Chain A
Amino acid sequence: MLIIDSLLIGGIKFVLDKVASAVDEEMNDETSLREELLAAQMRVELGEMDEEDFVALEREILARLREIRDARRGEASGAMSLGGGFEVDVSFRGNDEESE
């Protein structure tokens, strides 16, 4: 599974203004959990982890991700509504050194 990283880490980033600081810490946890999941997928791909172990680990990580999300529910997660005002910025980004 080589796609999750692009899907989750690359591309679109949502910045949620109001909750940013409160959520920061959880976000970090979330990021590291996702990285852990990716690393496990990589190990499966390399034949270093079998499917069963992966599924068990995946279940555990997803449960923890869900906990984090639930704790945040009503804030940053879930369906978005633009009714309260928003800013959006869409851009092409090229080589690493040219952006950010």
Chain B
Amino acid sequence: MAKAQKTDARKKTAAKKAGKKTAPAAKKATTARPAGKKAVAKKAAAKPAGKKKAAPAAKKAARKPAARPRVRETESRSATGPMSDLLAFPEASARPGGRSGKYVYCIIHTNEPCRFGPIGIGSEPAEVHTVNYKDIAAVVSDTPLEVYDPTRENVLAHERVNEVVMRDFTVIPMSFSTVFKTSEDIVELLRSAYDAFRDVLVKMQDKLEFGLKVLWEPETIIREIEKDDDNLRLLRQEISHQKGSTYFARMQYGRLVDSLLQERSEKLVSEIIDALSGVCVASRTNKPIGDKMILNGAFLVARDREPDFDAKVKEIDARYENLIFKYTGPWPPYNFVNIRLKLERASEAE
């Protein structure tokens, strides 16, 4: 059974639409969502998913990482949802000054001004449009001069815009909550780094980022290791048979377990990255999240190699019984573009 699974762009789109439509009735929408369907099928019914719908269920279904579907779900816990008062950012619309800033989503190559519809971040989605300089442009929307909280809703709003733009353009994604005061600032940014933006856009042409997180259950792995490692097994027996204090033995055991886990994790990670290196352009590893994750990887893949990358992930997934793979994408190449902006003078919030 293949545990890894990702949704492709078309499914994503479909899922998104469905997600949006079902937002108000989210409670029962679980099985109706195209992209989430497979992942959710097994356990969705058993889980009173609440307005999050399939999300927890999908997660529980665990080995099926349809992360995009999850994204959809959070998306549908929209501004009208009962949770919105907790999560929305009321200041955004309540602030004086109106929409005087520009929230930047990404940089693209285009000769024409473009509009992407009223899908901007914020409680009242603003029109997403471009600020152009020569043949490159920043995709922006008007916004209050505000720092956006990294709520799921806000992050998804940011991501949704990039998804839409990605359908037609190669993008250099900006990080969440990048806000400039004026269009002039943005033109200035585009102008001064024009060559670099052009260069990176060319390099990113027809490339997509995929995420692969690999997790394990340390308990399971320890048991597995014990089978192979005599020292560990002996120590364990010693602890269980020993009379009196087992403190020292337990310490030793703990240390040995840690180092064996570490060793095993490094070995697995390098095997996985090696296996994928033939089908991707580049890979990067981020800090693992939580104590069960051994790999938090990002892979840059040529569009026409996507099926190969896909197949490889599935193959790897099938090879490692005890690992959980969470496979997501396509994403804009967040992990493969470096933008450093150094302000000479600190700018203020308002």
Contact = CB atoms under 8 A, between A and B. Distances in A.
A6 B86 CA distance: 24
Interface of A: 1-19, 34-35, 37-39, 41-47, 50-51, 55, 58-59, 62, 65-66, 69, 73-96, 98-99
A90 B180 contact: no
A85 B200 CA distance: 23
Please report whether the interface of chain A is mostly helix, strand, loop or mixed according to DSSP: mixed
A79 B180 contact: yes
Given A14-B341, A16-B346, A96-B285, A5 B196 contact: no
B146 to A, nearest CB: 8
B16 to A, nearest CB: 14
A43 B291 CA distance: 10
Interface in B141-196: 145-147, 149-152, 155-156, 158-159, 172-176, 178-182, 185, 188-189, 192-193, 196
B348 A75 contact: yes
Size bracket of the B interface:
35 or more
Nearest to B213: A2
A1 to B, nearest CB: 6
Please report whether the interface of chain B is mostly helix, strand, loop or mixed according to DSSP: mixed
A4 B350 CA distance: 26
Contacts of A96: 283-285
8 contacts: A2-B65, A15-B342, A46-B292, A55-B86, A79-B180, A81-B185, A89-B340, A90-B340
A11 B152 CA distance: 18
A1 B74 contact: yes
Given A81-B347, A86-B343, 10 more contacts: A1-B155, A10-B286, A15-B342, A38-B290, A47-B56, A78-B147, A79-B101, A80-B179, A89-B342, A92-B338
B282 A95 contact: yes
B55 A4 contact: no
A42 to B, nearest CB: 5
B343 A16 contact: yes
Given A2-B213, A6-B335, A55-B86, A88 B340 contact: yes
A16 B340 CA distance: 9
Contact of A2 (B176, B179, B326, B343): B326
Contact of A88 (B70, B282, B326, B342): B342
Nearest to B71: A3
